[in-house]
Chains A and B, each alone.
Chain A
Amino acid sequence: MRVTVSGVLLGGVLALREYIAAHVLTCLVPAFLLAGGIVTLVNREGILDHLGVRASKVRSFSLATIASFFLAACSCTVIPVSSGLYYGGAGIGAAFIVLWVAPASNLLALIYTGSILGGTMVLARVVTAVLMAFCVGWVMTLAFRQEESRAMSAVLASNGPTSRILAPVDLGLLGLVAVSLLAPNYLVRSGPYSSKVLVWAIATAAVAGYAGFTKTREEIRRWLEETWWFVRMIFPLLLLGVFLVGMVGTLLPQAWIQQYLGGSGLTATFLATLLGAVSYFATMTEAPFVHTLMKLGMGKGPALALLLTGPGLSLPNWLAIGRVFGVKKAIVYVLTIVFLGTLAGWVFGNFL
């Protein structure tokens, strides 16, 4: 087959068309609404207060991990949050757990991965991200023990009594948005796309009704504004990513992918990990990318490794971590993640 420029462009356009038709309404719209809702309704300061300075490692690591699912959906916000934790007096382990889990396994990316790659992949992604988080936490704590024991000079005083993280009314609202996101993609597995849209429309009407009764106009406006921010930040990157992936799909010889990323051998998994660790994937773009590569023959071990390290690490991200936390910590962190990512992908590909 001869590769022509128009053929490559066509590949990009076709991927874009398929993607827009299948995902925007029933998947992206509710996902962005959910992200916007989390920013406006969840008291993230409250979450951090619960992390505590002198909490036991097991406790603070678990809390850091769980909180990160809801903390940030965009890699642009996670470094300040994590460094804020660190310089604010939290343990270095917890800080790096947030740094890892928030991009590698946030709610938005997980739900989206599920709708594209299926439930098994999501489960694998969550479990490995959490296991890796605990390993990273321990490695960082052990490697930089002296600093841990040195008293932190600027321990943030919590501002008054710890405030509640999420009001029950708002929990209901976020729950409904989550339903409008999950129902079309998981209830309607087969059948025409219009039935998905119908389920989505019903669920969305329920969300709108609930919001109308429980929230003030001002609160709704703020929620929609935050949602719009996510759309503006992530959507162009997503479209660009899908377009590029479509072009890459027609350009890359299938034989190459099968040779270098096929199966679930150690080398293939390691290459996928490196690819993910170096290149920048905005949150969510990793899913269509992995999907395309899997169609071209990438094994599921490398696929998982790429899903984890793609959004979790990138060259700009290394540099930023180095600048904020110091070069030594950045090196230890990156090496640990590359090692663990390869291991996780390999185990998943071969034994599960």
Chain B
Amino acid sequence: MKILIVGPGCPRCAATERNVLDACYALKLPAEVEHVYDPKEFARLGVRFTPAVVVDGKVLVAGRVPSVEELKKLLAQWGEQSG
């Protein structure tokens, strides 16, 4: 699983990254987490509102800071779907 945190480096993006890492840790998820800072990349990823969380190319959350609980649910769901 490849998780991208998309945001230009604002405080909300940092909080999102922290929550994603916490969620991955809690789920013991072997995910590759990366932070995309370049706004030119945002559109290519299909992200229009930041901070956003993109998992395996799909935008799961955009324009707000997801809580750790919500991320755990979303990521677990995604993991089941993709096998």
Q: Which residues of A contact B (CB under 8 A)?
A: 39-40, 44-45, 48, 76-77, 79-81, 83-88, 154, 156, 222, 225-226, 229, 232-233, 320, 324
B residues near A (Cβ < 8 Å) are 7-8, 10-12, 39-40, 42-44, 46-50, 62-65, 67
State the main secondary structure of chain A at its contact with B: helix
CB < 8 Å: which of A40, A154, A320 contacts B43?
A: A154
Kindly state the separation between the CA atoms of A39 and B10 in the bound complex, as whole angstroms. Answer: 16
B64/A87 in contact, CB under 8 A: no
Name, among B43, B65, B67, the residue most crowded by chain A CB atoms within 10 Å (CB to CB).
B43
15 extra interchain contacts, Cβ-Cβ under 8 A, other than A44-B63, A84-B47? A44-B48, A45-B63, A76-B12, A77-B50, A79-B8, A80-B47, A80-B48, A83-B39, A83-B40, A83-B42, A84-B42, A84-B43, A87-B40, A156-B48, A222-B64
B40 touches A44 (CB 8 A): no
Flag if A156 contacts B64 (CB, 8 Å).
Answer: no
Question: Which residues of B lie under 8 Å from residue A324 when comparing CB positions?
Answer: 39-40
Q: In the complex, are the beta carbons of B42 and A226 less than 8 A apart? A: no
Tell me the nearest residue of chain A to B10, going by C-beta: A76
Assembled-state Cα–Cα distance A156/B67 (Å):
28
Interface secondary structure of B, over-half rule: loop
What are 22 A-B contacts defined by CB distance under 8 Å?
A: A39-B63, A44-B48, A45-B62, A76-B8, A76-B11, A80-B39, A80-B49, A81-B48, A81-B49, A83-B42, A84-B39, A84-B49, A85-B48, A86-B43, A87-B40, A156-B46, A222-B64, A225-B65, A229-B12, A233-B11, A320-B8, A324-B40
How far apart sit A44 and B43, CA to CA, in the bound complex (Å)?
15
Of chain B, the residue at the smallest CB distance from A226 is: B64
Residues from chain A with Cβ under 8 Å of B48 in the complex: 44-45, 48, 80-81, 84-85, 88, 156
Contact of B65 among A79, A88, A154, A229 (CB under 8 A): A229
Query: Within the assembled complex, what's the spacing in Å between the Cα atoms of A265 and B65?
Result: 46
Contact of B7 among A40, A44, A80 (CB under 8 A): A80
Given contacts A44-B49, A45-B49, contact A87 B10 (CB under 8 A): no
**Are B39 and A79 closer than 8 Å at their CB atoms?**
yes
Closest to A71 in B: B49
- Of B39, B44, B46, the most chain A CB neighbours within 10 A belong to B39
Q: Which B residues are in CB contact (< 8 Å) with A40? A: 64
In the complex, chain A residues whose CB is within 8 Å of the CB of B40: 83, 87, 324
What is the CB-to-nearest-CB distance from B42 to chain A, in angstroms, rounded to a whole number? 5
CB distance from A306 to the nearest CB of B (A): 25
Chain B positions within 8 Å of A232 at CB level: 11
A contact residues around B39 at 8 Å (CB): 79-80, 83-84, 87, 324
